[in-house]
Amino acid sequence: MRWRVARGLRANSGLLFVLPGLLIYLGFIAWPIIATFYNSFFIWDGFSPDREFIGLDHYVRLFTKDRAFRLSIRNNIYWAVITVVVLSIFGFLFAYLLNQRIRLRNAYRAALFLPVTASLVVIGFTWEFIYQPEVGLLSHTLRRYGFDHLVRVWLADPDVTIFAIIVVSLWASLGFWVVVFLAALQAVPPDLYDCAAVDGATGFRQMWHIAVPLTMGTTRALWILGLIRAINAFALVFLLSRGGPYHASEVIAYQIYEQAFRTNHTGYASALSVVLLLISAVVTIFQLLLLRGRRIQL
């Protein structure tokens, strides 16, 4: 008997290697997420011992009565669609251009890439300065060149603010997409382009029929990544507009922050978190299907 236990322990000694990381992961992530599901069924301020069970009422309210939530969903969709489409197209194009043997290649690449290394706080404050009403650089430049009718109060106009923020997000992540696409393009054998050239395919057709299909795996990974970042967008909204004016530029993650840490509606914020996690989970399942059986290349 003792012998069998010993053999069992021995056969599973690998568990000891996984255990320390697993405990931290379970303690800080798995368990709290389960607790969030549970908390979402209560009215709770986050600290007092008494809480009121209300079942699914938070979710009903979210999807039927909450205007800010509807706007958040809309803005997250804008964010996802605009960033993924624009960054796929322009990220790929610039990477394709940079993949040619041209002068100043590294300088261009570094210029595109610098925002990726900066903190979003730095990026947020810099763009807030550019977007200042009246005296800000953007408004000032537009006025100076006679485009007065285009000037807006960039960060306080309900129709404009979310797009102004998305533009910053595009600026901040373009370099990352370019560099990832560039890595994928460099793995395409150059002979293929030569063959195509011999067959008479030039410029655009070479790109469309060779480069695009051969980098599709990377493109799909970037789409997933872009979606996840769009779903979780928080920092730029917090830094540039605080979700205003009148919730017009709110996103789900910012709503969670408002509800949990500004107004102490922890139960309601938990329900929002659950919605966000469920959306992420759907994307995650896609990601896992994509990753299955593929070794990660460095």
Please identify which residue in 6, 56, 197, 212 interacts with other proteins, judged by CB under 8 A: 197
DSSP for 100-118? Answer: S--TTHHHHHHHHHHHHHS
Nearer to other proteins by Cβ, of 137 and 158: the residue is 137
Cβ atoms 241, 161 nearer than 8 A: yes
Per rule CB under 8 A, count of chain residues that contact other proteins: 103
The reply to whether 298 sits near other proteins by the rule CB under 8 A is: yes
The reply to whether 187 sits near other proteins by the rule CB under 8 A is: no
Two tokens, residue 124: 């947020």
Q: Which of residues 153-172 bind other proteins (CB under 8 A)?
A: 171
Compose the 103-122 pattern: x for residues touching other proteins by CB under 8 A, - for all others: xx--xx-xxxxxxxxxxxxx
Per CB under 8 A, which region of 16-24, 67-75, 148-156, 242-250 contacts other proteins? 16-24
CA 272/CA 43 separation, integer angstroms: 13
The reply to whether 59 sits near other proteins by the rule CB under 8 A is: no
Compose the 262-291 pattern: x for residues touching other proteins by CB under 8 A, - for all others: ----x--xx--x--xx--xx-xx--xx--x
Strands (E), the chain: 42-43, 52-53
Residues with Cβ < 8 Å from 109, sequence gap 6 or more? 98, 175, 178, 179, 182
Please identify which residue in 193, 214, 242, 245 interacts with other proteins, judged by CB under 8 A: 193
The reply to whether 208 sits near other proteins by the rule CB under 8 A is: no
Please identify which residue in 68, 95, 222, 248 interacts with other proteins, judged by CB under 8 A: 222
CA neighbor of 162 nearest in space, from 253, 46, 74, 61: 74
What count of residues does the chain have? 298
The reply to whether 228 sits near other proteins by the rule CB under 8 A is: yes
Name the DSSP letter for residue 208.
I
Nearer to other proteins by Cβ, of 67 and 220: the residue is 220
Per CB under 8 A, which region of 58-66, 69-77, 133-141, 149-157 contacts other proteins? 133-141
CA 245/CA 295 separation, integer angstroms: 46
Nearer to other proteins by Cβ, of 238 and 248: the residue is 238
Helix pair 161-186, 105-117: axis angle to 10 deg: 130
CA neighbor of 255 nearest in space, from 111, 17, 68: 68
The reply to whether 36 sits near other proteins by the rule CB under 8 A is: yes
The reply to whether 217 sits near other proteins by the rule CB under 8 A is: no
The amino acid at residue 154 is: W
Two tokens, residue 75: 């803005």
Nearer to other proteins by Cβ, of 1 and 289: the residue is 289
- Cβ 3 to other proteins shortest distance, Å: 19
Alpha carbon 176 to its chain's center: 12
